[in-house]
Amino acid sequence: MPILGVILAACSSGTDTLTVGAASSLTEVMDAVGDAFEGSGVIVSAAGSQVVAAQVREGAPLDVVVTADEATIDRLAAGGLLAGEPVRIAGNRLVIVVAAGNPKGVAGLADLVREDVTVVLAASQVPAGAYAAETLAAAGIVVSPASLEPSVRAVVAKVRLGEADAGLAYATDISADVAAVELPPGVGTDASYFAAVVGATSHPESARQFVDFLSSDRARAVFRTHGFAP
């Protein structure tokens, strides 16, 4: 279902339902966290963090927003669009995503500049793209990507479909049909996820309870089972 359709479905499903706009890398885990929440029902609308932020600015009926970086949610706060301070709820790390079996033999970041390796990255407006840019710059590596994607899930999809040989994605986005090349310790910018209540929410009390729940021990246990860091 398109994102707008999900949001409209949430609005029509009852006053006790919260709609959470979440970064695409949180798609499965936010569904699981929503199931564990003992308050209102939760429907997750997942997209790139920049898309979710745009939805908040445009007045989409979201109750809670969760981004894959602090900068995106801080801009919403600076614009007066949030109720209360954002809360850090989880972490993640970058890996090189390659096709299953790693047919091009990609061993590290330096291989992303090889002429025989087609690379895709998330766009710089996407948190995963910003993290990738920071990581490559710190390593002194200049990559010419074949495309810049609107979400980290789109990067993984390009590799899965054989349209690219490698990309930079989150460790939690790796599935059975792709593989991960780990970055050495100390290499790579770790991701942090932040949640906040949307100022225009129709359910401020329930939304605040859910944001509080996201940083609880029970929710953190769910994040850990899905591969996220504290």
Task: State whether 132 and 195 are in the same domain.
Answer: no
H-state helical runs in the chain: 3-12, 27-36, 49-57, 70-78, 127-139, 152-160, 204-214, 217-225
Please check whether residues 81 and 117 belong to one and the same domain: no
Q: Are 21 and 56 in contact (CB under 8 A)?
A: yes
Those residues with Cβ within 8 angstroms of residue 92's Cβ, 6 or more apart along the chain or in another chain: 25, 68, 170, 171, 172, 190, 191, 192, 193, 228, 229
Residue 205 covered by a domain: yes
**CB-based contacts of 71-76 (< 8 A; 24+ apart in sequence):** 71/127, 71/130, 72/127, 73/194, 73/195, 73/196, 76/196
Do both 81 and 142 map to the same domain?
no
Do 173 and 199 belong together in one domain?
no
E-strand spans in 48-190? 64-67, 82-92, 94-99, 119-122, 147-149, 166-170, 178-182
The verdict on 87 and 197 lying in the same domain is yes
Residue 39's pLDDT is what? 82
SS3 205: helix
Let me know if residue 173 belongs to a domain: yes
pTM above 0.85, yes or no: yes
- The reply to whether 230 falls in a domain is no
Look at residue 31 and tell me if it is in a domain: yes
Domain of 151, in residue numbers: 94-182
Q: What pLDDT does residue 111 have?
A: 98
The C-alpha atoms of residue 155 and residue 168 are separated, in whole angstroms, by: 8
Q: What is the pLDDT of residue 12?
A: 36
In a domain, residue 41? The reply is: yes
Whether residue 139 is found in the same domain as residue 116:
yes
Q: What is the CATH number of the domain that holds 29?
A: 3.40.190.10
Q: Are residues 163 and 104 in the same domain?
A: yes
Q: Match 């790693």 to its residue by tokens.
A: 102
Claim to verify: residue 170 and residue 198 sit in the same structural domain = no
Bridge partners, 96 (sequence order): 168, 181
Same domain, 100 and 178: yes
Q: Which of 6, 76, 1, 89 is nearest to 42 (CA)?
A: 6
Q: Name the domain count of the chain.
A: 2
Q: What is the pLDDT along the chain (230 residues), one digit of tens a residue?
A: 344 444 434 343 445 799 999 999 999 999 999 999 998 899 999 999 999 999 999 999 999 999 999 999 999 999 999 999 999 999 999 999 999 999 999 999 999 999 999 999 999 999 999 999 999 999 999 999 999 999 999 999 999 999 999 999 999 999 889 999 999 988 888 999 999 999 999 999 999 999 999 999 999 999 999 999 99
Query: Token match 């429907």: residue?
Result: 43
25 inside domain: yes
pLDDT of residue 3: 43
Q: Residue 45 falls within a domain, yes or no?
A: yes
162 within 8 A of 100, measured Cβ to Cβ: no
Do 86 and 113 lie in one domain? The reply is no
Please check whether residues 86 and 200 belong to one and the same domain. Answer: yes
Q: Please give the distance of CA 51 from its chain centroid, rounded to a whole number.
A: 11
Shared domain for 85 and 98, answered yes or no, is: no
In a domain, 34, yes or no: yes
Tokens representing 227? 């591969």
